[in-house]
Amino acid sequence: MKNVILLIMDGLGDRPNEIFDNKTALQYSYKPNMDFLAEHGVTGLMSPVSYGIRSGSDTSHLSILGYNPENYYTGRGPFEALGLGIDLKPGDIAFRANYASVINNTVVDRRAGRIKDTNNLSKELETEIDGVKFIIKSGVEHRAALVLRGDNLSDKISDTDPHNIDSKLLNAMPLDNEAKFTANVINKFLERSRKILNEHKMNKDLILNGKLPANEILLRGAGKVPELPDFNKKYNLRAACISGTPLIRGIAKLAGFDIINVNGMTGRIDTDYNNIINTAVESLNEYNFILINIKGTDIGGHDKKPEIKKYAIEETDKALKQLKSILNDTLIVITGDHSTPCSYGDHTGDPVPVLFSTNGIINDDVKRFDELSVSHGYYKIKSSDIMPLILSYSDRSEKYGA
């Protein structure tokens, strides 16, 4: 049985870029080590979740790890909260939240004048009401997440966000009988928050300066944090995750992964690529499955900057040199969680390249790791095929039948 390193380069897939002579970032990058691994492995194209689906990082990572998002993706609330680094527990109820400006019970700006930082406000709002703990964390600008922790909670709760300006504020309404308690406690929380926000010095200063206050939080997208079956038990592995991205760490943690911290890992383009791969290799003493997520490729795609994506690919590639010497007893898998083409600036439903590389397996004819080259490779798969193939190539599959 072999150890496994699964490297997910976030948003790896690309489309032709004019400044790269109409090549993708992978085609245009210098990446001898990825090409080596492709040449000494099997390759193909992988469709995240399914063909043509524009997956988020959350749904795609769930699917790659063997959790069908149809069963385990419980809405954006819980996953946005994970993305903000809130330590969630199964059963928690999470909402996406906006700081907004409200005058006379009417929403006048759903983004509170694009306020820069609401951390000081969020700190004041955390509380406990009727045995329910309220955890709130600010994101960038007006964005935040609200989490409820306690017994007898339901996610069948309507949005309090009217989604339009000049609309009246809405109360949280229960969508079924069991949600009555939850709706009631949320409305108590919102009433309390309103008082605190209207009295807060930061809001008084904003008004004095002729700006809109952040005096309301609008809630939407309620979801219950899913209980994921333990990854280690499911596949008989000892798994750890290395990622600078809170969302990915959060999902891995819910699945039972240990989280490994790495010096210099930022989740941005300036992360320490070498130390990430080095730490993964060293961690194989303790674990036999390491999930790595590198975010820089996705950042280049969203920012429509092919040269950023190329940089992330080339820096990762340099670090991958260390993997060549462990191919006897390690399976290396490299893929993306979705495409984020620089020409498009967001996730698309295009498939992403995938490679499985280890010594002793049959190789296909592909010698380069990019969208076009691997289309001549062995596999056209969906993300849900990744774990079975990993178990098979690492000699861990159980026999199906006699």
Least distance to Zn ion, CB of residue 59, Å = 10
Q: Binding string, 296-335, against Zn ion, x = CB under 5 A?
A: --x-------------------------------------
CB of 354 to Zn ion, least distance (A): 15
Residue matched to tokens 């969203």: 302
Minimum CB–partner distance for residue 60 and Zn ion (Å): 6
Minimum CB distance to Zn ion smaller for 139 or for 150: 139
Please compute Rg for the chain using Cα positions. 23
Residue 80 in contact with Zn ion, rule: CB under 5 A: no
Q: Which is nearer to Zn ion, 155 or 337 (CB)?
A: 337
CB of 335 to Zn ion, least distance (A): 11
Name the residue nearer to Zn ion (CB basis): 319 or 342: 342
92 contributes a contact to Zn ion by CB under 5 A: no
| Cβ closest to Zn ion, residue 92 vs residue 298 | 298
Select 112 or 241, whichever has its Cβ closest to Zn ion. 241
Candidates 209, 216, 159; CA nearest to 183 is 159
Residue nearest to Zn ion (CB): 57
41/300 with CB nearer Zn ion: 300
CB of residue 73 to Zn ion, shortest distance in Å: 14
| Minimum distance from residue 68 beta carbon to Zn ion (Å) | 18
CB of 192 to Zn ion, least distance (A): 35
Whether the CA torsion 278, 281, 282, 287 is positive or negative: it is positive
What are φ and ψ of residue 358, in 5° steps? -165, 160
Q: Which of 14, 337, 350, 370 binds Zn ion (CB under 5 A)?
A: 337
Rank residues 213 and 336 by Cβ distance to Zn ion and give the closer one: 336
- Among 183-191, 292-300, 360-368, 381-389, which window interacts with Zn ion (CB under 5 A)? 292-300
Site residues for Zn ion, 47-66, by CB under 5 A, read: 57
Q: What backbone phi and psi angles, to 5 degrees, belong to 152?
A: 60, 35
User: Is 79 or 287 the residue whose CB approaches Zn ion more closely?
Assistant: 79
Distance CA 313, CA 334 (A): 12
Size of the residue set binding Zn ion (CB under 5 A)? 5
Three-state secondary structure call for residue 20: helix
Task: Find all residues with CB under 8 Å of 88, minimum gap 6, and list them.
Answer: 78, 81, 82, 94, 147, 225, 250, 254
As a three-state string, the secondary structure of 189-215 is HHHHHHHHHHHCHHHHHHHHCCCCCCC
CB of 61 to Zn ion, least distance (A): 8
- For 329-341, letters b (16+ CB in 10 Å) and e give ebbbbbbbbbbbb
CA-wise closest residue to 224 among 85, 84, 125, 76: 76
CB nearer to Zn ion: give 222 or 265. 265
CA distance 135 to 148: 6
Query: Quick check: 350 binds Zn ion (CB under 5 A)?
Result: no
Instruction: Establish if 10 lies at the interface with Zn ion (CB under 5 A).
Output: yes
Q: Pick from 46, 69, 252, 75: which is nearest to 147 by CA?
A: 75
Specify the stretch interacting with Zn ion by CB under 5 A; choose among 29-37, 44-52, 172-180, 294-302.
Answer: 294-302
Residues in Cβ contact with 253 at an 8 Å cutoff, skipping those fewer than 6 apart: 87, 241, 259
What are the residues binding Zn ion (CB under 5 A)? 10-11, 57, 298, 337
